[in-house]
Amino acid sequence: MDILRFITAGSVDDGKSTLIGRLLYDSKNILIDQLEALEKQSKNKNENGVDLAILTDGLRAEREQGITIDVAYRYFSTPKRKFIIADAPGHIQYTRNMITGASNSQLIVILIDARQGVIEQTRRHSIIASLLKMKNVVVAINKMDLVDYSKEVFNDIKAQYELVAKKLKLENVSYFPISAFNGDNIVSKSEKTDWYQGSTLLDFLENVEINEDQEKENPRFQVQYVIRPQTDELHDYRGYAGEVISGIYRKGDEITVLPQNIQTKISKIETGGHEVDFVFTNQPAVIHVEDDIDISRGDFLVKTNQQPKVENEFEAVVCWLDKKELNEGSKYFIQHKSKTLKAIIKEIEYKIDVNTLEQTPITESIKLNEVVKVRLKTASPLVFDSFEDSKSTGNAILIDETSNSTVGAVMIL
């Protein structure tokens, strides 16, 4: 069973947390004790006597204010698919939370209040979806119950958003008239929108295509651990453990070890303690090679004819996550999956306005939540793909050398 990772986004009070609560509630993914606690805490009750937003607004401050402050992750499943949901904050000052939550998502659900239509925050989140190369965008026009389930209101907002999508070159945009509070068109079709001929939101999420053709994906495997038991029984055993990031690896494949640029062949593949002929995307595996090569944690094993870039200087888009400002010449650690290197901000080229995607010149230090294009230089070569080609190998984080805290989200160009 595959997993769909998606994020909900929208302005404050658009109903993101209520929507997720509705998905959990109507798909029967809530335990009885959770339901009892929910009924006791509910203030803004629907016809079922509960406030579904409480399910995701886990922090006390969130419940008291009725807002989402941090990204809340929730998990649920149906017979068709498993889901990981990121509930992103709607406030402008939490833009960084939305970007980090969306960076690993395959789909974004943008909520629009049917009474408000497309607003500035809708455009901002759509721009972030464009920036992060989201392949699927769902526009959930919520609170249809407050506009008498009007077909005209739905069509008008749809037309408004189509202009935004066209400008940002967003493809695969789907529209749903919903009421998260009452449950219309979320898990079950609503009789109140008999003019709407599409599927329910859950049905769409269960069936939307999310996996690329693995045969076409560039195979990427990064070593996380070198297994060398050195026991009498396994005296000559040397395996390289990790997870297949993308593509398919088969016994006998010609591969190149990067960044060393040494060619060899796969002699054996193990997964789950058993030898197999091949492994594919998201599978943990232990790969053995024919030659005795110095391979370390963080090195890549890639198909010889499908290689990524190996460079120690490259351009990237950085979302700044720290209160301490970013300046040219600042030094950090860059962590790219299991590889950590020293890096320096060689140049800050321009700032990206997340409201318009326009490029603005740098006149001062980069502050919290700002997005910039930079040129980074690493102490030794980094193995990567561009973020557009592969989110998995095209993203990284910047870490402060002294505090060890994450200060930047990196999308490599």
Q: Which residues of 20-33 are buried (b: 16+ CB within 10 A; e: fewer)?
A: bbbbbbbbebbeee
Domain with CATH 3.40.50.300 in the chain: 3-207
- In contact, 193 and 185? CB cutoff 8 Å: yes
Judge contact between 28 and 187, C-beta under 8 A.
Answer: no
Q: Are 86 and 117 in contact (CB under 8 A)?
A: no
CATH superfamily of 220-303: Translation factors (2.40.30.10)
| φ, ψ dihedrals at 233, nearest 5° | -70, -35
Lowest mean pLDDT among 123-132, 150-159, 242-251, 283-292: 123-132
Judged against a pLDDT cut of 90, whether residue 236 lies above it is answered with no
Q: What's the rounded Cα separation, in Å, for the pair 301 and 287?
A: 9
pLDDT at 233: 74
How far CA 202 is from CA of 1, 77, 122, 185, 187, in Å, comes to 16, 11, 22, 8, 5
Lowest mean pLDDT among 111-125, 153-167, 323-337: 111-125
Measured in Å, how far apart are the chain's first and last C-alpha atoms? Answer: 32
Average pLDDT over every residue of 262-274: 95
Q: Tokens at residue 179, please?
A: 């009421």
Mean pLDDT of the region 166-192: 92
- How much is the pTM? 0.78
Residue with tokens 């070569």: 381
The token pair at 6 is 């998606």
State how far Cα 154 lies from the chain centre: 28
Residue 338 has pLDDT above 80, yes or no: yes
CATH 2.40.30.10 intervals, the chain: 220-303, 309-412
Residues belonging to the chain: 413
pLDDT at 252: 96
Q: What's the topology of domain 3-207?
A: Rossmann fold (3.40.50)
Of the chain, the percentage scoring pLDDT greater than 90 comes to 56
The percent of residues in the chain predicted with pLDDT above 70, rounded, is 85
pLDDT at 64: 43
How high is the pLDDT of residue 38? 57
Which of 61, 72, 156 lies closest to 112, judged by CA?
156
Looking at 3.90.950.20, 2.40.30.10, 3.90.79.10, 1.10.760.10, the CATH number of the domain 309-412 comes to: 2.40.30.10
